[in-house]
Amino acid sequence: MKRIAVLTSGGDAPGMNAAVRAVVRKAISEGMEVCGINRGYAGMVEGDIFPLDAKGVSNILSRGGTFLQSARYPEFAKLEGQLKGIEQLKKHGIEGVVVIGGDGSYHGAMRLTEHGFPAVGLPGTIDNDIVGTDYTIGFDTAVNTATDALDKIRDTSFSHGRTFVVEVMGRNAGDIALWSGIAAGADQIIIPEEPYDIKEVVANVKNGYLSKSKNHHLIVLAEGVMHGEAFAAKMKEAGDNSDLRVTNLGHILRGGAPTPRDRVIASWMGAHAVELLREGKGGLAIGIQNEKLVEHPILGSAEDGALFSLTEQGEIVVNNPHKARLDFAALNRDLSN
Amino acid sequence: MKRIAVLTSGGDAPGMNAAVRAVVRKAISEGMEVCGINRGYAGMVEGDIFPLDAKGVSNILSRGGTFLQSARYPEFAKLEGQLKGIEQLKKHGIEGVVVIGGDGSYHGAMRLTEHGFPAVGLPGTIDNDIVGTDYTIGFDTAVNTATDALDKIRDTSFSHGRTFVVEVMGRNAGDIALWSGIAAGADQIIIPEEPYDIKEVVANVKNGYLSKSKNHHLIVLAEGVMHGEAFAAKMKEAGDNSDLRVTNLGHILRGGAPTPRDRVIASWMGAHAVELLREGKGGLAIGIQNEKLVEHPILGSAEDGALFSLTEQGEIVVNNPHKARLDFAALNRDLSN
Amino acid sequence: MKRIAVLTSGGDAPGMNAAVRAVVRKAISEGMEVCGINRGYAGMVEGDIFPLDAKGVSNILSRGGTFLQSARYPEFAKLEGQLKGIEQLKKHGIEGVVVIGGDGSYHGAMRLTEHGFPAVGLPGTIDNDIVGTDYTIGFDTAVNTATDALDKIRDTSFSHGRTFVVEVMGRNAGDIALWSGIAAGADQIIIPEEPYDIKEVVANVKNGYLSKSKNHHLIVLAEGVMHGEAFAAKMKEAGDNSDLRVTNLGHILRGGAPTPRDRVIASWMGAHAVELLREGKGGLAIGIQNEKLVEHPILGSAEDGALFSLTEQGEIVVNNPHKARLDFAALNRDLSN
Amino acid sequence: MKRIAVLTSGGDAPGMNAAVRAVVRKAISEGMEVCGINRGYAGMVEGDIFPLDAKGVSNILSRGGTFLQSARYPEFAKLEGQLKGIEQLKKHGIEGVVVIGGDGSYHGAMRLTEHGFPAVGLPGTIDNDIVGTDYTIGFDTAVNTATDALDKIRDTSFSHGRTFVVEVMGRNAGDIALWSGIAAGADQIIIPEEPYDIKEVVANVKNGYLSKSKNHHLIVLAEGVMHGEAFAAKMKEAGDNSDLRVTNLGHILRGGAPTPRDRVIASWMGAHAVELLREGKGGLAIGIQNEKLVEHPILGSAEDGALFSLTEQGEIVVNNPHKARLDFAALNRDLSN
């Protein structure tokens, strides 16, 4: 390939810029040309496409968010949108595209693949819930931000002898809650992948105070379970009589300068995406498994390791969905005594 | 005086530990003995008082919260509580006390003063709303934490072309909102000390997007105006049609390692409190005005510069309450164009 | 004035970008045009001047360094350079200039003033050693960075029972050493403005270990006294037998995202510089004294409050040079016991 | 086992406290007793051993350094010291010991193993150069600190158009240099595991400036190659004529609050060490390989996966020493164009 493009799609994640920079720099070092696409698939369909050079990405490595911007674009789920997008790519002489984002972005890449247009997916989301990879770009930064906030809240929690429920992002996956909870020494971590008993939660709080082993109590709650206020209400209903407060870390988890780990992973994956396209390979998603770069077919059969399969009715089946670290949930129970 | 005590009261603030350390170390360097009182006035009345030495405060300078803990204790508003507290102090041989906290803490110090027990107040609160001082211990740290969060939210705001309403602490004072808003380049800052017109707020948002000068919009809202969700609802009612999100920074603003400035100010004030007590002076609150240490009578007449006066009915009058930096509000309007 | 320019000169300092942004945005809000000058006086003389608009400064508020870049340019000390620079300014229709930097930058502004060209100086240096101001843009950030590093070094110092000499920037002024030293709980702070006795320094180290009150020892040394290695050698000569290490924080103190305080101060000063030029006032340097904005004539008599006077021989006399906070040096001695 | 002990040895690393906490908490949750040993093997031989409970480790998770302190103790290389140490352990009823540290610490654990005393090693060092593991406790934090410093230095480097040589720790391994260099977008990374040609280094600098693609240049140098000053001198000798500066990050890389990743890894490994001892297993070192916990015999044959073997002459052979990520070195060359 002579000319490729790169876009970011879905929720922004720290390290997306580092990945874009790697795609651009690696492509140039391979003698290829590279274009940026603004606002994800929306910009692709609208033709909001522009050339990028090495200098154009020289200040973005350490910056949060995505300078290419992102946007939701449900129209790309329809055939018309897809064909229009591919037409625009061809008009700009683009032979392959790197898509950085989460599930929705991968679905878009899957459609490009269906139509025979070479696309390579990179997992970019703070939630760490993408199939085919142990780590996603942005996860490490989000865990750092969450842990930093939890450390701060612990100061107040201790000073006032309070119980805190702290809600962190994670609609389907408890990974941010688990990692930041262990890192901050949370007394309890509640995640969507594991059942909990509200009476036991309340009993744990009570026992901590009674045994004098704790003067405060920190509960980390993944958003996918329910909102913090609702969880606190359930606790009160179940008999909690501690001085209970709720904080929702909300959108601060999305932004910020990426951690070195996210920058390195993004750089590594971004460069590899170019290598695949250079060899003419598309329809693949890059991941990190066992600390090695891997690639899976985006679309195909489960036996072939494809991330998604289509049923005869055209429904998307997710093969091998991301699994929770239930061993980490157990670890925290041992350490929070 | 031979023996003094120190307590923290009200909401915790980063730098309280630095102030306690300074009180302890300075007292020791002056040949005095010093005790810590746990959980503020509650601990005073209960006699939860213990000796402190130089080594006992050697690891707390950089830690958020207050290792002496804090507590609300409405009973100290009553005569009985006050007398009981003084009795406990005397029982422990304590001749003077340093009180670190906000308004409520100062009221307690005022009562001790009324009863002739020497107390010196230090302004410790993130809100910067204490009378008699330009800066309170904890304010600089809270502004740093808020700005850091706003910088992160801006990443997402830019990446998605969104409008964000970010609520920051500040029930009576907009200082955190103003300083962090200017620091983060907020497009609008809404504070309790200044009226606003919701139609104008919405028009500003609209004009920013229309003029293409902005692709996103950041509004910093002090909690004293109303909650973020309510404000966003008002904006929608007034015709806002942007992609609007709300985040409440909540309790993360209270904790965290104090900034150097908070540590230095706390150290400076804490040492000075000991100097006053050593000279037998009580009934005073220490502040920083024009970058110099000042002290004001806690209770007395406005002419004498006292922070509080009592009416004949016994009601507390606040002389010269803290004023908002309306010049900073105007400055931000000039810079957010 | 209709059109002004802004430059940064001398060593870069965090917050310079915030000041440039404020100059640009405020000028625009006053209906003026504004240009940037690259690489300080060098760019002025070479005519490296370009128009700036509001959007052009929209991402720089939180960024360290100076996007206008800076450069040493000794040629501006000569008449020829000065006249050439003014010629360039006039060629670009520029009627006034804002100069952000340290001592050398102020000397340049003084020369412009001599030639009748309106210049306003803003104090931008991490060293806090500029005449006519209590605080310089960049100082707060440098203190934060230094304190953060000292906190880290203390971890190792404690873990190994070591003595550390940590050198921080400050050729003439011990301000960074004093503030960061107090903030980090340094055992000793050595600054150029205060004599020290190396035997006493070593005795303090020894006594700390002997008395068992300390298991480690942290000495903060301002670069203006001597280099850390040399100081350590002197200590060893004077009989120190502790496990002694040296670290020089070096250039990390110059960079980094400015603290909110530096951003606010820079914004406040930058906007005020435009107000002065708008009123046709030049030959002034802006400072903060007693937490208020002040302006002093750059050149004139000491009685008129001018920063600099010229002798009959043309030598520059600094009136009221920056003074060290010797009270802070004493404070730290009390608190490091 | 009923009673175990834990010690930290060698250079301190962020996360050692988290590992100690995990050992203590996990042991208690398994019904075992646990002791801390102060100052590594020195404290073991001197019997500086004390009981630890859950509350005693409740505030250390987020703290840098090691609260158990560390010390060099060459006497433990001798038989006499080893036997004395084991005697002390037995005197305190200790049946197994967890050793957290680097190479030297592992050698000590090997000796305990030789004498039949159950020891489990955890890799704790910022250098990431321990055999039998992909990651060491403290590495992620050191990379974060180094990257943060490099980001700051880049601000100044850009502002002044300078070349910087930044020396980072890493006597044998270039891992810190590689990860932080990629993360900070270093123009060149020089590590001990890869040869370099000083003429090529200088040519790269020159070409960057000539091609106008770079206005500054950042070289990250691992300490194991040579010191920064020496490298800069070699560059000058080889014809570099850029404005060249040197900074040595030095000891700030050792300290600081551990990153969440280091806290999680340390917690995970610490808990697993207790599981091994509980099952009566000793003579093992825990590592992370392919994101899974693994354990290797500390002493034995290479075929059995042992970390160390002893020759007939008693010399220590390191099997499978840590390997540099030469792929990352190549990656950075592609991205720094």
Average confidence (pLDDT) over B312-328: 92
- Min Cα distance D135 → chain C (Å) is 21
pLDDT at C195: 96
| Three-state SS annotation for chain A | CCEEEEEECCCCCCCHHHHHHHHHHHHHHCCCEEEEECCHHHHHHHCCEEECCCHHHCCCCCCCCCCCCCCCCHHHHCHHHHHHHHHHHHHCCCCEEEEEECHHHHHHHHHHHHCCCCEEEEEECCCCCCCCCCCCECHHHHHHHHHHHHHHHHHHHHHHCCEEEEEECCCCCCHHHHHHHHHHCCCEEECCCCCCCHHHHHHHHHHHHHCCCCCCEEEEEECCCCCHHHHHHHHHHCCCCCCEEEEECHHHHCCCCCCHHHHHHHHHHHHHHHHHHHCCCCCEEEEEECCEEEEEECECCHHHCCCEEECCCCCEEECCCCCCCHHHHHHHHHHCC
pLDDT at C144: 98
Residue A337 pLDDT exceeds 80: no
pLDDT at A4: 98
Residue B52 pLDDT exceeds 80: yes
CA A99 to chain CA centroid, Å, is: 14
Question: At D212, is the pLDDT very low, low, confident or very high (cuts 50, 70, 90)?
Answer: confident
Q: Cα separation of C171 and D228, whole Å?
A: 22
**CATH code, residues D3-138+258-299:** 3.40.50.450
**Residues whose CB falls within 8 Å of the CB of residue C55, separated by 6 or more in sequence, listed in order:** B213
Q: Which one is catalytic: C12, C127, C140, C240?
A: C127
CB A245 within 8 A of CB A235: no
Q: Which ipTM did the prediction report?
A: 0.96
* Pairs across A and B, CB distance < 8 A: 108
Find the closest chain B residue to A8 by CA distance.
B159
Domain ranges of chain A: 3-138+258-299, 141-254+326-336
- D253 known ligand binder: yes
Q: Sheet of C188-190: strands edge to edge?
A: C188-190, C217-222, C163-168, C244-248
The answer to whether the pTM exceeds 0.90 is yes
Q: Sheet of A3-8: strands edge to edge?
A: A49-51, A33-37, A3-8, A96-101, A119-123, A284-289, A292-297
**Which tens digit of pLDDT belongs to each residue from D145-176?**
999 999 999 999 999 999 999 999 999 899 99
Report the candidate in B219, B92, B211, B120 with the shortest Cα–Cα distance to residue B168. Answer: B219
- Min Cα distance A298 → chain B (Å) is 26
pLDDT at A72: 84
CB B169 within 8 A of CB B253: yes
Active site residue C127: yes
- C25 known ligand binder: yes
**Secondary structure class of D250 (helix, strand, coil):** helix
Average confidence (pLDDT) over D4-26: 97
- Min Cα distance C79 → chain B (Å) is 37
**Which tens digit of pLDDT belongs to each residue from A256-315?**
999 999 999 999 999 999 999 999 999 999 999 998 999 999 999 999 999 999 999 989
Q: Is A291 exposed, middle or buried (0-12, 13-18, 19+ CB in 10 A)?
A: middle
pLDDT at B337: 75
CB–CB contact D263 A140 (8 Å): no
pLDDT at D213: 81
- The residues of chain C scoring below 50 in pLDDT are none
CB–CB contact D292 A290 (8 Å): yes
CB–CB contact D156 C254 (8 Å): yes
**Chains contacting A (3+ CB pairs below 8 angstroms):** B, D
**Chains contacting C (3+ CB pairs below 8 angstroms):** B, D
Same fold, B3-138+258-299 and B141-254+326-336: yes
CB–CB contact C247 D245 (8 Å): no
**Which tens digit of pLDDT belongs to each residue from B177-195?**
999 999 999 999 999 999 9
Average confidence (pLDDT) over A66-94: 95
**Which tens digit of pLDDT belongs to each residue from A146-163?**
999 999 999 999 999 999
Helix (H) or strand (E) holding B205, with range, is helix B198-210
pLDDT at B213: 81
The architecture that CATH gives domain D141-254+326-336 is: 3-Layer(aba) Sandwich (3.40)
Question: At D305, is the pLDDT very low, low, confident or very high (cuts 50, 70, 90)?
Answer: very high
Find the closest chain C residue to D247 by CA distance.
C250
pLDDT at D4: 98
pLDDT at C337: 75
CB–CB contact A328 D268 (8 Å): yes
